[in-house]
Amino acid sequence: MSFQQGLSGLNAASRNLDVIGHNIANANTTGMKASRANFSAMYANSIGIVGSNADTGGGLGTTVNSVTQQFTQGNIENTGFALDVAINGSGFYPMSMPDGTRAYTRSGSFNMDSTGNIVTAEGAKLLGYATDAKGQRVTSALAPLNLATSQVVNAKQSTAITAEFTLDAKAEVAATAVPRTPVTTYGTTFKAYDAQGLEVPVGLYFSKTANNQWDVYTSVNGAAPTATGTSVSFDANGTLTAGGSQTLALSSPNGTFNVSLDLSKSKQVNAEFAVVDLQQDGYTTGRMINMTIGQDGVVTASYSNGQTLAAGQIALTNFRNVQGLGVTGNGYWLETQASGQALDGVPGSGSFGVLQAGSLEQANVDLTAELVDMMTAQRAYQANAQTIKTQDQILSTAVNLR
C-alpha cells in the first residue's frame, strides 16, 4: 500500500513549504539567515535481512530530517545612520539580554537608551571591550558598551605651540623700508586656552631686521605686539639656524602661564609669506556631539571642543559549528553543546569579519530561488496527493470485483 508513502510525502512537502514561506516572509529582515529543509528516506528494514531477497525491507516514504540555516553573507545596504553596523564576514554580535543571559545576532540595527547603552529594539545590550582614549583595549572581559552622552571633556591649558611659516626672502628690512613695514605685515592669529578653558587670543608676527634675520613679536588679548627677545635666523639655503625654540608668556583673567613655541620647521624662500601649519595642544570644555564606529569596532566620540576620544570597542563572537546554534525569536541565536563554546574577539582579527558603520546586512534570501523552490515543493505535494488518489482508485477497483 502506498498510502503511507504518499502521506509522508505530503507531510514533507508541507514542511518544506513552511520553510520556504518563512524565508520569503523574512526577505527584508535585517541579518536574517535563510533555512533549508533536508530530507531523508525511511525504510521498514534494510539491514540484516536473511535470504537472497535484499528488498524485503520496503520503503516507507520520506521525512524532513532537519532544517538548517545557511550562514552565507547577506548584501550590505547603506543607511547613513551611525548606529547601524553591518558585519562583513564571519562573526556575531554578543548581546546581554534583558534577563541577563547571553545571545548572539547578525542584526546590527542599534540604538542608544537613556543611560547611553547601545541596545537593540528588544533592549538587549551590545557587548564590547573597554579601551583607553586612543582605542587600545585595556581589558579582556566583555561588558555592555556605554556612551556617556552627558560626559564632559574638561578643558586643557595650552602648553605647546607648533608653527611652520614660509618667510619671504624678498621682503625689505622693516626699519629701512619706505614707508616702514608694520610689525603685523607678516604674521597670523590663533587662540590658546588657560586651565579653565578661557580663550586667549594670540598674535604671532615677524619683522625683518637684516638679511636672513627676523624678530619675533607676540600680541596677547589684543594688546600691541611686543618682541619676544629672540630672533630667528636662516642660512644661505633658507634653513632655520637659530630661534626655533622659544617661550611665550600668555595671560588670562586667571593668571599668567608659559607655553613653548616650536618654529623649527619654518623656512625662508623666494615666495610670499604663508602659514604652512599651526597647532596648539589646549582646548576648552566640550560635550559629545557625534560618534563613529571604525572597521575594527572602535567607537570614537567627537566633542564640541574638537577632541575625539575612544569610548570602547565592539566585540564579535564565533563558534566552531554555527549550524549547531540554537535559534530563538527576533533574530537571536544561543550557544549549545553542538555549536561549541563562544570564541570572542575583535573585528578584523583572525577569522572575524570587519564592521561597516552606517550600513545593515540584509537577509541572505534569494527570492528568485525561493519562488522556484516553492513551485517545486508545490508540484511534489500535488504528486504525492496523486499517488494517494491512485491507490484509492486501485483499492476501490479491487473491492468492487465480482
Q: Are residues 340 and 392 in the same domain?
A: no
Q: What is the pLDDT of residue 57?
A: 54
Q: Are residues 254 and 142 in the same domain?
A: no
Alpha carbons 374 and 381: distance in angstroms, whole number:
10
Q: Are residues 276 and 226 in the same domain?
A: yes
Q: Report the CATH number that the domain containing residue 179 is assigned in CATH.
A: 2.60.98.20
Q: Are residues 184 and 247 in the same domain?
A: yes
Q: Please check the confidence at residue 187 and state whether its pLDDT lies above 60.
A: yes
Q: How confident is the model at residue 152 (pLDDT cuts 50, 70, 90)?
A: confident
Q: Pairing relation of β-strands 316-318 and 85-88? A: unpaired
Peptide bond into 179 cis (omega under 30): yes
Q: Are residues 385 and 355 in the same domain?
A: no
Q: How confident is the model at residue 46 (pLDDT cuts 50, 70, 90)?
A: low
Q: What is the pLDDT of residue 47?
A: 54
User: Would you call 84 exposed, middle or buried from its count of C-beta atoms within 10 A (0-12, 13-18, 19+)?
Assistant: buried
Q: Are residues 52 and 86 in the same domain?
A: no
Provide the residue range defining the domain that includes 259.
160-280
Q: Are residues 68 and 91 in the same domain?
A: no
Alpha carbons 7 and 194: distance in angstroms, whole number:
85
Looking at 230, 257, 280, the residue that finishes a domain is: 280
Query: Model-level pTM?
Result: 0.78
Domain count, the chain: 3
SS3 labels along 291-351: EEECCCCEEEEEECCCCEEEEEEECEEECCCHHHCEECCCCEEECCCCCCCCEEECCCCCC
Q: How confident is the model at residue 387 (pLDDT cuts 50, 70, 90)?
A: confident
Q: Are residues 147 and 185 in the same domain?
A: no
- Residues 236-289: tens digit of each pLDDT: 999 999 999 999 999 999 999 999 999 999 999 999 999 999 999 999 999 988
Q: Are residues 235 and 329 in the same domain?
A: no
Alpha carbons 174 and 185: distance in angstroms, whole number:
10
Alpha carbons 346 and 358: distance in angstroms, whole number:
19
Looking at 280, 303, 331, the residue that finishes a domain is: 280
Q: Are residues 38 and 88 in the same domain?
A: no
Q: How confident is the model at residue 106 (pLDDT cuts 50, 70, 90)?
A: very high
Q: Please check the confidence at residue 45 and state whether its pLDDT lies above 50.
A: yes
Q: Are residues 194 and 297 in the same domain?
A: no
Q: Are residues 81 and 129 in the same domain?
A: yes
Q: Pairing relation of β-strands 354-357 and 186-193? A: unpaired
Q: What is the mean pLDDT of the chain?
A: 91
